[in-house]
Structure 1
């Protein structure tokens, strides 16, 4: 089986790897460099807490693969299962957390509720005004700059062809399969997997499938190093977007943070947002609620990227409803990093066997036309 994968972020490279591992002949085409789209803009959060319930089976599948990544890929991608804590500062957040914990439990996610004293003892320095927290001990973080190149290199080792800096000029299908013309030549295959992220809707539209997707850029930042003491990824349960911050500390001591600042619209040409320095004070105030010590350190870099947000905040994943041999995995709405390995494994299973053990029905592309 020949498969062309369009898009070289985490979804595309993971799919290329698992497809090649199943014996498919894979050509991956990326318009820039591997991992330079939504993946490199990612916070690196590997969390299941707060996910839409229908994503949890995929998230569980993916978490298992994150745990195997270093052995599987032959490279350290800095996966650390240090846990994920979400702090709570008001009764509304506490009610939301408890309701989510109750509904997620049958889906296989167990959340531990922490008291203020347990937070202080187990995670000193975090959220001194928090009234409670949820804790998921098996979740954690990974390095967004390492994971896509690691999957791409491993896929190449299994025979996949990885083509970078190739602008796609046209995509078509005839009785013999799919044809992709690029600035680096023409390619053909019997199957096409669209993992083009924020650009994915453009490709889907060429096959009569419209997806209500917007391209947006997050605002991320990193501080100078602090003495290492914060192991888990830290987030918040809140109904107030101005406080929706998150952070993690890398082993070198730097604090990576994001959230609170509204994601900005992105023009797909060139397809990269810039961080807005005017938004940084508001963002840091929200982060300081989680970690007061951050108010005393310098921010050394900020960045953004380009993510695809679908109207219902669920990804597009699975078979095309109009075109045999066409498959989709895009539009992960800024929440795709944790899912990446599971997405690649699931898509490879679906493409090569015609079935998938992980339920994907909620992510079907024809859900938009059915709702019209």
Structure 2
């Protein structure tokens, strides 16, 4: 039996960030990853470093995490490819623009000022190549994008420098508490620690169920596509209002298109499959906004598996059924930006007993007795 202070199940960004922050506090941490680090949602998301458009309960976490992004190199020695491009949510009709107005008014009533309503003229000043039918939008100046696989592995390397062990190809089949120790059983060995963090994405619900905690979580295949290179035309990271879109152009000229594009999830075989019909719909949104891309070729499309929860909020919580058991999963395709900050909050929850920002909205017992695992 291999022992540690903390076991982390899942080598995505939230698992690696939590491991880093706990190792930074002196904890001996082992991370158990079923595939390889950043295999699924942490490696295949669109890389948006986004406070824009967050559900209200997530906004304090997102704003805190954004400050970490801006100081990432000081924290872990790398920036994960972070570019502070700003993020722009595009309105394509008067109804879209009214929805933007209502959104900004709601946030300002809650004391949040990071989202700014902008008119059509400002949108065209920010992005001159965009189609003239746009009516305005919302601008978040300090948002941007980063490279998901690179970021997750940057946290991995930082955690390893502090003594954390990462064991890949190590799926956890069973968890149980024996006395004051948590036991994780894998096909390649048994691991033990005082504290256990379940951060296994779409596979977390089944582990929670083993201790009697039921979460309405479902797996989805999350897709992305990247185009051939084209001359620079877009500086911001773009989102849609009336239809899903996540869109950015890298310095090398390629364009990455996402926006919670749902593919096919094969949970038992740990595999995500591309749904090309849905990709075509997303590509059409892009060419409506940038007609000159109509004949641009797509180089590659890929998919991974992500956990979506019934109320569109993650579970970031201590267990209510057992001691020294914690959860961080179900980020619904929007967890990348939160990773650096939530890893810090989870470390505080696990090592201090309380986080520096409230996580009450993300408690695992919020669903009631009628919820079930899908």
TM-score, normalised to structure 2, is 0.94
In 1, Cα distance between the equivalents of 2:113 and 2:199?
A: 28
Contact 1:53 1:107 in 2 (8 A): no
Aligned to 1:255: 255
Aligned to 1:290: 289
Aligned to 1:210: 214
Shift of 1:102: 1.6
Aligned to 2:58: 55
In 2, Cα distance between the equivalents of 1:197 and 1:280?
A: 23
Equivalent residue of 1:367, what SS? coil
1:291-310 per-residue CA deviation (whole Å, 9 max, x = no partner) reads 22321311100111100000
In 1, Cα distance between the equivalents of 2:208 and 2:306?
A: 16
1:150-193 per-residue CA deviation (whole Å, 9 max, x = no partner) reads 11111010011111111223211111310112233211101000
Matched, 1:356 2:360: no
In 2, Cα distance between the equivalents of 1:279 and 1:229?
A: 25
Equivalent residue of 2:273, what SS? coil
* Larger CA deviation: 109-118 vs 247-256: 109-118
1:220-256 per-residue CA deviation (whole Å, 9 max, x = no partner) reads 1111111223221001111xxxx31220111111100
Contact 1:11 1:341 in 2 (8 A): yes
> What are the residue-to-residue correspondences of 1:280-359 with 2, within 5 Å?
280-359=279-358
Q: Judging changes above 3 Å, is the alpha-carbon distance between structure 1 residues 127 and 346 closer, same or farther for their aligned structure 2 residues? A: farther
Shift of 1:71: 2.6
In 2, Cα distance between the equivalents of 1:120 and 1:290?
A: 12
Alignment partner of 2:132 out of 121, 125, 128: 128
Q: Judging changes above 3 Å, is the alpha-carbon distance between structure 1 residues 304 and 99 closer, same or farther for their aligned structure 2 residues? A: same
Contact 2:174 2:207 in 1 (8 A): no
Matched, 1:67 2:70: yes
Gaps of 5+ in 2: none
* Larger CA deviation: 151-160 vs 275-284: 275-284
Equivalent residue of 2:304, what SS? coil
Aligned to 1:276: 275
Q: Judging changes above 3 Å, is the alpha-carbon distance between structure 1 residues 176 and 260 closer, same or farther for their aligned structure 2 residues? A: closer
Aligned to 2:96: 93
Aligned residues: 367
In 2, Cα distance between the equivalents of 1:298 and 1:166?
A: 38
Shift of 1:322: 0.7
Shift of 1:329: 0.3
1:26-65 per-residue CA deviation (whole Å, 9 max, x = no partner) reads 1110001101111111000111111110101110111111
Shift of 1:265: 4.3
Gaps of 5+ in 1: none
In 1, Cα distance between the equivalents of 2:21 and 2:259?
A: 32
* Larger CA deviation: 174-183 vs 321-330: 174-183
Aligned to 2:183: 179
Q: Judging changes above 3 Å, is the alpha-carbon distance between structure 1 residues 194 and 79 closer, same or farther for their aligned structure 2 residues? A: same
In 2, Cα distance between the equivalents of 1:245 and 1:162?
A: 34
In 2, Cα distance between the equivalents of 1:107 and 1:54?
A: 13
1:242-292 per-residue CA deviation (whole Å, 9 max, x = no partner) reads x3122011111110002385x134121212221123333322111222322
Shift of 1:348: 0.4
Matched, 1:102 2:101: no
In 2, Cα distance between the equivalents of 1:170 and 1:161?
A: 20
How much is the aligned-residue C-alpha RMSD, in angstroms? 1.6
